[in-house]
Amino acid sequence: MSTETIEKANDQIAEVKKPSEPLFSKKRRQLLSNPLDEDNPITIQVLGICSALAVTVALKPTFVMAVAVTAVLVLANVVISALRNTIPNRIRIIVQLVVVASLVAIVDQVLKAYSYDIWKELSVFIGLIITNCIVMGRLEAFALGNKPWDAFLDGLGNSFGYAWIILAIAFFRELFGSGKLFGFQVMPDGYIGNGVMMSPAGACLLLGVLIWIVRSRSGYVED
């Protein structure tokens, strides 16, 4: 092969090769911002509803749950994305479950070691992160087809989208249900807590209001 032919081939490769995408390009920033509002995993995609109703009686356990889901989702997204080209299609769900289950076991043991009271309160729900539709959904829909950095941003964005919804519900439930926030009394002495807010019915009511607000802002609800 002549030198001229090699040079032409190199020129063609250089033309075909696309410039690398910036770490925080507009597309990548949307991976962080969209799940907070117009593509929220709870209010728009209607995923992760069970924990949004079950663990939001008080802010402290809700915050711990949000951190746990964030750790599992972000790390699982990155791991699956890094392995995406080596995972046979026929066993991809099994691999995803193994990765998520391993991460949940680690989170569970760390929480048990350093925050035993919260662990006792959340132990069942921490284990159920394995089957959380948000986690498995992002692995299947995004991590398997994108690079690790994009998967990291997607996991972070969806975790934050999940977190702010459950924290908002917990804020109002604890405030009006017991007159406290993070266990500290904030309502005047003699305040009688609203029993509805401490019940699953109160969580359903607040979640329904949040879904209506977010969907209205995002154009999913007609005037």
> Does a structural domain hold residue 4?
no
All residues at 6 or more sequence positions from 44 whose CB lies less than 8 Å from its CB, including other chains:
38, 214, 215, 218, 220
Distance CA 25, CA 144 (A): 21
Total of domains in the chain = 1
Q: What is the pLDDT of residue 17?
A: 52
Q: What is the pLDDT of residue 14?
A: 46
> Does a structural domain hold residue 18?
no
Distance CA 26, CA 84 (A): 24
> Does a structural domain hold residue 19?
no
Query: The whole model's pTM is what?
Result: 0.83
> Does a structural domain hold residue 13?
no
> Does a structural domain hold residue 155?
yes
**Residue by residue, what is the 3-state secondary structure of 84-142?**
CCCCCHHHHHHHHHHHHHHHHHHHHHHHHHHCHHHHHHHHHHHHHHHHCHHHHHHHHHC
Q: Which domain does 41 fall in, by range?
A: 35-217
Convert the pLDDT of each residue in 157-172 to its tens digit: 999 999 999 999 999 9
> Does a structural domain hold residue 25?
no
> Does a structural domain hold residue 173?
yes
> Does a structural domain hold residue 20?
no
Residue ranges in the chain whose pLDDT is less than 50? 14-16
